[in-house]
Structure 1
């Protein structure tokens, strides 16, 4: 059976707008990122949905989320957009220095990545390494968009990993730390439930590690923590607990 030709009504602007709305979950933010008006961005998405014949976004909630059809379209749209971008880049000067863009969690960029980048640099290849840090979901969205070449992060839910190749690199322990001289250090028989009266730093709700921490707390009878501060910043956590 012959393949159906691509509908000529689908333009690059449709794909670019769709990818930005999918990444930012907001037409307003996508319009700003693409330097276009919000009505123009909304019209572009509406045109694309009319062309493909199915809704791509769920508009019943505050933020826009992809429908199942939108999830499928995202995989192919991001791949094709990335391939086109790489093709355009390849037409540049053959002598131009390559840029290897690596997405990394803040903890990874501080502990694991430096020696790896050092070994890569020692090979004296004609390439510059660029490190982009952020939450896991944000980094995976950059990977799908082709804005980074690889991501070193945590394993996300299966749905978020669809269409991505991944390899297990390391395992992490979940531990609780306190500042030197903290009253809990004087406890002869420490139990995790003892943290309840104290202010606690917790991973943000959208971080991959948050469910693991919550399960650990619940397993030790901790249902609430006092004065919770949410962050995934390793630097802030170190400074705040000192």
Structure 2
């Protein structure tokens, strides 16, 4: 028996897609003239469209001031709703286009921590093998740019350290990798590794690959050294780039600090060795982030649900966790 069709509120029924486009453009550009240029319509058409929406809503959506147009409280509600509607319609258009072209849609992923990279790479490869007609993209960018892309529906999944900046109304996040111990690594031939006992002062006296100002690892390193009543390292080269750190470790005697998973990767590749000194500091869990207000693309739903099912039982060795990746195929 077919399901009942949900009634549409009379106010919503009168709104058109062009209304949403103009409202969002006005919020972005704050000028009717600039919106007209962007949308290739006349300024009069912009004013008319805004007047139509305000007549439907029954309240002004923007305040006109010397510095441009600013959304009112009800205008902000309209903008948030219009953002979700246009993002969902964009996903619908992508799905329809994928069917017409004989593909299976798109999956866009980004990550902001090397800790998750090996597991994520293997999962992406397994998913691509099961779903060769899905267009998979791995996106790069700064954390705030990527968060905005998840909010706007452009990015399906973001993998990042747990962060207060992820606490936004529509964003959902779930742990993928638990909190990790902070670990010191050294060049493979570092003289410090030949010592029978390594003191905290020994560490501070060495050359370091010092994390860049504002970097998460710098904060955790300072926290760990403060717990030992020691100052932060002063000698060395400041960089947060993993590839550059690897090259520095191979070129000279340096120390560096990383979460235990990255440290294990470097040790397995024989480009560094773990220093037998325990720091009293942990790095935040790695979480998977998505927009819970949008219906997920089918490939993203399959990829996300697989990870959610497996994340709680993920062992340190990712190969065991990946034993059942053949399940990652849309129904």
TM-score by length of 2: 0.49
Indicate which of 219, 222, 234 corresponds to 1:211. Answer: 219
Partner of 2:181: 173
**What is the correspondence of 1:155-166 to structure 2 with a 5 Å cutoff?**
155-157=162-164, 159-163=165-169, 164-166=171-173
Residue matched to 2:124:
117
Deviation at 1:213, TM superposition (A): 2.9
| 1:112 CA displacement | 2.0
Deviation sequence 1:164-185 (CA, Å, 0-9, x none): 1111111233111110221321
Q: Is the 8 A contact 2:24 2:79 kept in 1?
A: no
- Within 2, Cα distance between the matches of 1:145 and 1:127? 21
In the other structure, the counterpart of 2:318 is: none
Residues 1:220 and 2:241 are matched in the alignment: no
5+ residue gaps, structure 2, are 1-9, 31-37, 39-63, 251-331
Q: Say which structure, 1 or 2, has more relative contact order (CA 8 Å, 6+ apart).
A: 2
Bigger radius of gyration among the two: 2
Q: Between Structure 1 and Structure 2, which shows a larger proportion of strand residues?
A: 2
Give the aligned partner of residue 199 of structure 2: 191
- Asked whether 1:152 is paired with 2:159, we answer yes
Alignment deviations for residues 5-61 of structure 1 (CA, whole Å, 9 cap, x no partner)? 99989633234559xxxxxxxxxxxxxxx9xxxxxxxx99x4342x3279xxxxxxx
Query: Structure 1 residues 236 and 76, CA, compared in 2 at 3 Å: closer, same or farther?
Result: farther
User: For residues 122 and 201 of structure 1, do their structure 2 counterparts lie closer, same or farther at Cα, with a shift above 3 Å needed?
Assistant: same
1:60 — aligned with what?
none
Rate the CA distance shift 1:206–1:16 in 2: closer, same or farther, 3 A: farther
CA distance in 1, matches of 2:144, 2:20: 33
Q: Shift of the alpha carbon at 1:132? A: 1.9
Which residue pairs with 2:72 in the alignment? Answer: 52
Once the two structures are superposed, residues 59-86 of structure 1 have per-residue CA deviations (whole angstroms, 9 ceiling, x without a partner) of xxxxxxxxxx9xx999767645533432
SS at match of 2:185: coil
When residues 190 and 196 of structure 1 are mapped into structure 2, their CA distance, relative to the original with a 3 A threshold, is same
5+ residue gaps, structure 1: 19-33, 35-42, 55-68
Number of positions where the alignment pairs a residue of Structure 1 with one of Structure 2: 199
Match of 2:150 in 1: 143
Give the drift of 1:131.
Answer: 1.1
**RMSD of the alignment, in Å?**
3.9
